[in-house]
Chain A
Amino acid sequence: MQYMCLIYSAEDAGPQPGTQEFGPFIEAYGKFTQDVQASGKFVHGDALQPVATATTVTTQNGKVEITDGPFAETKECLGGYYLLECDSLDDAIEHAAKIPTAQHGRIEVRPVIVWDD
């Protein structure tokens, strides 16, 4: 099964760019990515630009409406994701727990729907 691991954290939490802690943090991400690639679990993964760059689009009122910012103002924002191929939820949880941001943020684990042909 495929699991989407959505990485949420407050942008001011955890190691910040330009600090001493940031280097090892990014290295930890590199290592995690390598590990899941080596074990064949890695399907996809990306980091997102900060939430300040977000634009929200809706056509709920019949026309394209655009808002500056994320659709929900929450302290913790989506910062990136991994799409992993795992045997079970337990397997996915085990990997999600190793994503470096889990130490100061949260990882939402969501199974991906498999469409019947």
Chain B
Amino acid sequence: MMPPIQLEHAIEKLAREDWGRMLASLVSSFSDWQLAEDVLQDAVEQAMVVWKKDGLPDSPAAWLITTARRKAIDHFRRGAKFAELQPEIAYLNQLNQQPSENDIDNVIPDKRLELIFTCCHPALEQKTQVALTLKTLGGLKTEEIAAAFLDKTTAMAQRLSRAKTKISAAGIPFEVPEEQKLNERLDSVLSVIYLIFNEGYTASSGNAVTRSDLSEEAIRLARIMVQLLPEKAEVAGLLCLMLLHDSRRIARATESKPFIPLEYQNRSSWDKTQILEGTTLLKKTLAMQQVGVYQIQAAISAIHAESSNWEETDWSQINALYELLYSMHPSAVVKVNHAIAISYAQSVEHGLLVLQSIENEPGMDAYQPFYAARADLHSRINKKRLAKSDFARAIALSDNDARRDYLQQRMEAL
């Protein structure tokens, strides 16, 4: 028998791995989100006690879901609406009587796709979509989600509870959208996953440990999505993009330098397994010929990942990809990155011209990446005075200490 501490870890790990799947299945059978979470949590707690005594069952996931369903049935039996809930009770009983083989598909019908589409329904605020996805599919605790977003636990709990109320009271359907709406709705699911990743990746604030967990969680969610929607290239595109970004996690910061831009990173510390996985999957995905913004960004990232150094980067290809990206998704951030690519592919002056073309757009005077990019371009052609004022502006607009310090050093080095 396993020692208690190890067993507790095993249970926690297992419950977390299969949490989303078990919860999705429970929600789909009786559509009460809070009850589903409560009975599943109870089942996990009961497992801690029972398994310590009797050892791990053959199929822990089957044990947990069967126990959770029984608890739901008990809850319904105690309630006033017993008669009304007969269909749910009968259905849960039927699910529990199916031969509990070790095949998880038999024991827990996979409803995770329905769950994530419901969590990311556009009738919910995006921050709520993110929190709900982490809570239900990720199995994160409310306090962990609150910590990641620097919110109070009570505020986060309230947000989650309001969301669950809205889902049931407003009749947000628990389903995968029909084909004609699928792509649009998929966009909001993918942006939620990417947002989770970036919360973990940019680490603008908050506890660093929690944050790298968020990136891992986003990658895990994307893997699930790829498995469930293999015919949608953008899903795989997002996974590739995150794998390739994440491969540079260690190289992006050292203790003495909390922010190291791509140009100065030690490429030997990039995660080669992640790069290989990302580039291999990307090649397969691009062959599906459903071009999309995540795939293009992944392709740009892949070019960096495969160049042995900054100077030998294939800038003309990156330049072309940014052009394509801008045509699909015109935004300031794409334009700024495009300007940087052109500054290497053609000349710094060409890059400056691109920046000049957006200088007067609304909000640009407070857009940090614009000034950081222009400062860099000016410093590369030795226009010290202009570079200095752009660095100063970029520093003033930075909300991230590590980046601010980096820009400060660049300015002082002029």
Contact = CB atoms under 8 A, between A and B. Distances in A.
B123 A1 contact: no
A90 interface: yes
25 contacts: A1-B171, A3-B171, A86-B171, A87-B171, A87-B173, A88-B171, A88-B172, A88-B173, A89-B121, A89-B123, A89-B170, A89-B171, A89-B172, A89-B173, A90-B172, A90-B173, A90-B177, A90-B181, A92-B171, A93-B123, A109-B170, A111-B169, A111-B170, A111-B171, A113-B169
A86 B123 CA distance: 16
B380 to A, nearest CB: 48
Contacts of B123: 89, 93
Contacts of A93: 123
Contacts of A1: 171
Contacts, number: 25
A89 B166 CA distance: 10
A106 B171 CA distance: 20
Main secondary structure of the interface of B (DSSP, over half): loop
A93 B173 CA distance: 12
Interface string B175-197: 00100010000000000000000
A92 B173 CA distance: 11
Interface of A: 1, 3, 86-90, 92-93, 109, 111, 113
Nearest to B178: A90
A10 B170 CA distance: 26
Contacts of B121: 89
A58 B404 CA distance: 55
A39 B83 CA distance: 32
Smallest CB-CB A-B distances: 3 pairs: A88-B173, A1-B171, A89-B171
A49 B54 CA distance: 72
B374 to A, nearest CB: 39
A29 B275 CA distance: 56
Contacts of B177: 90
Contacts of B181: 90
A93 B243 CA distance: 36
A90 B172 CA distance: 7
Nearest to B177: A90
Interface in B139-178: 169-173, 177
Q: Most chain-B CB neighbours within 10 Å: which of A89, A109, A111?
A: A89
A88 B174 CA distance: 10
Interface in B197-249: none
Contacts of A88: 171-173
Contacts of A109: 170
B320 to A, nearest CB: 38
Given A88-B173, A89-B170, A89-B171, 10 more contacts: A1-B171, A86-B171, A87-B173, A89-B121, A89-B123, A90-B172, A90-B177, A93-B123, A109-B170, A113-B169
A111 to B, nearest CB: 5
B187 to A, nearest CB: 16
A71 to B, nearest CB: 24
Contacts of B170: 89, 109, 111
A11 B268 CA distance: 64
A1 B172 CA distance: 11
Contacts of A90: 172-173, 177, 181
A41 B181 CA distance: 21
Interface in B105-145: 121, 123
A92 B121 CA distance: 14
B118 to A, nearest CB: 10
A9 B173 CA distance: 28
